Structure 1
Amino acid sequence: MTIVDLTNRYGIITGAGQGIGRALAVEFGSRGAHLLLVGRKESTLVATARLVEAAGGTAEVFTQDLTLPNSVDRVAEAVGSWATVDLLVNNAGNVRAGRLELTSEADIRSMIELNLVAPVLLTRALLPRLRTGADRDSIVLNISSGIALVGMPFYTVYAATKAGLARFGESLRRELTGVKVHVTTVYPGATDTDMMSSQNAGADLGWERRSLDDVIADVLAGLEAGDHEINTVPEDRRGMQELNISDPMAVDAAMAPGLADLESAVRDHRSI
């Protein structure tokens, strides 16, 4: 039995120009959604909109850098005339890997602003609409990361923002007990998307990548089942996550021999 109905949603997807955001837009489009696609590049958003329409949905494009002042208010205003808003996908994110002391203040602030501040502010702005969206639960879908479950070296700031987003979703879910808003947090592991194109760590360093299709299938199945937390790492690969709960120092010891190789493999990983 479907617990959360994904059909005919009216909502916003941030970071919709590529990767997980685009794939989710197409999937919701195939279920009859009308979407506001938000991102920094108009050309990629237009391409996503065409895919949404080909899948059976409709879409509007809204080019916006969510790290800029008042950008969240402009997104909220863009759906001000809609009769219903019952979907928010906080997907937009960026990354800059490398040693903390070599990371610029600008890159640190960019990750914090886009990965954490923007989804908090956008959710706050849209919550009055989401609370009264329809006669069914509205959806807030936060795309966190597997790094929120196991903090990885050379991703200190990114890990902090994604862990913060996860706890934001958990707290919001509890705050909205009894309110018709379904809050779900997704923890994707390494996924084969454009965002990972500048990252060269492979399975030997613990970064085996899953296909985007497989990750999206897990997200949709979990969401339809009413899950509040969706971990896209296959169960047979969750050993490090489980060890990080029971014996985090053992995780430190396991990672230590490969630190130099990992640093070399991720030093160019940047999507800012």
Structure 2
Amino acid sequence: MRLEGRIAVVTGAGLGIGKATALRFAEEGARLVLAERDDGRLTEVTELVRDLGAEALAVPCDVTDEASVTHLAQEAAKLGPVSILVNNVGGGRSGRITNLSVADWDHTMALSLRSMFLCTRAFVPAMQAQGYGRIVCLSSGARNGTVWNAFHTGASGYSTAKAGVTGFIRALAIELADDGITVNAVAPGPIDTELAGPYLRKMHEDGLEYSPIRMTPLHRLGTPREVADAVLFLASDEASYITGTTLDVTGGR
């Protein structure tokens, strides 16, 4: 029960790593504020969290929208002071640099960076008031360039956004250190989520030279729970002397 009594906000809680994190936190005693823009997914994960015996507040939210994030913070405050924030929302649109539109670039930056900025800004004041906080942001192994995406489809926008997460957490860790708030990131490799898994496996099945399974030393996709375990560690008091760090969960890549 490493998070017993803690109130934690998880964004993008309806699928993949966000869902796995919500369930993992519930197992460890957290009280959950679940943010998700898809009503069906939000209902499902909320029921699963409650089935584990955890308290859950479901808040429909588009975390790229300032007003929606403000509403999320107001709703979360009804549950109590938030001490853990997981900025899980991210993603983007692929495309080689000569074909990548401004709209696709901006969309990618909004998903991975604007959402993280808005949510962090909204919840830091409550953490400062407590003199305690844990912020965990989702980066990616793609911040250093993911060969299979870069080679086969182009992924400069996504890689740029995920590299930006590293700069964000490094600077903010220093800014908030005196407030008792740690700020870290988890960088997943190829993970078998509902959305990415089929695409990643197909690359391997099609015999592509640069496939994630072939290029990952452990020769398999990771699971959402394996990433959630890393998020849990950084959100717990076991990581009390770790801040400004990006933890790779990439199967050795």
* 1:68-122 CA-partner distances (Å, limit 9, x unpaired): 3522222222223333110110001122222133233332222111210111121
Choose from 53, 56, 69 the match for 2:53: 56
Letter of the structure 2 residue corresponding to residue 233 of structure 1: T
Contact 2:86 2:135 in 1 (8 A): yes
SS of structure 1 residue aligned to 2:9: strand
TM-score by length of 2: 0.82
Identity of aligned residues (%): 29
User: Are 1:110 and 2:107 counterparts?
Assistant: yes
SS of structure 1 residue aligned to 2:212: coil
How far apart are 1:222 and its partner, in Å? 5.2
Choose from 124, 127, 130 the match for 1:127: 124
Count of residues in Structure 1 that have an aligned counterpart in Structure 2 = 231
Which residue pairs with 2:164 in the alignment? 164
* 1:178-212 CA-partner distances (Å, limit 9, x unpaired): 22112111010010002313454338414122122
SS of structure 2 residue aligned to 1:124: helix
Which residue pairs with 1:144 in the alignment? 139
Letter of the structure 2 residue corresponding to residue 144 of structure 1: S
SS of structure 1 residue aligned to 2:123: helix
* Residues 1-272 of structure 1 mapped to structure 2, 5 A cutoff: 5-133=2-130, 137-150=132-145, 152=147, 153=150, 154-196=154-196, 197-199=198-200, 200-202=202-204, 204-208=209-213, 209-221=221-233, 223-224=235-236, 225-226=238-239, 227=242, 228-234=245-251, 237-238=252-253
Structure 1 residues 204, 215: closer, same or farther in 2, change over 3 A? farther
* 1:139-160 CA-partner distances (Å, limit 9, x unpaired): 1010110111335521111111
Answer with 148-157 or 116-125: which moved more.
148-157
Gaps of 5+ in 1: 239-272
Letter of the structure 2 residue corresponding to residue 201 of structure 1: M
SS of structure 2 residue aligned to 1:62: strand
Gaps of 5+ in 2: 214-220
Contact 2:84 2:235 in 1 (8 A): no
SS of structure 1 residue aligned to 2:169: helix
Contact 1:94 1:114 in 2 (8 A): yes
Contact 2:21 2:229 in 1 (8 A): no
TM-score by length of 1: 0.77
Letter of the structure 1 residue corresponding to residue 140 of structure 2: S
Say what the alpha-carbon RMSD is for the aligned residues: 2.2
Contact 1:185 1:230 in 2 (8 A): yes
Letter of the structure 2 residue corresponding to residue 220 of structure 1: L
CA distance in 1, matches of 2:67, 2:194: 28
SS of structure 2 residue aligned to 1:80: helix
Name segments (4+ residues, structure 1) moved above 6 Å: none
Contact 1:67 1:110 in 2 (8 A): no
CA distance in 2, matches of 1:147, 1:167: 14
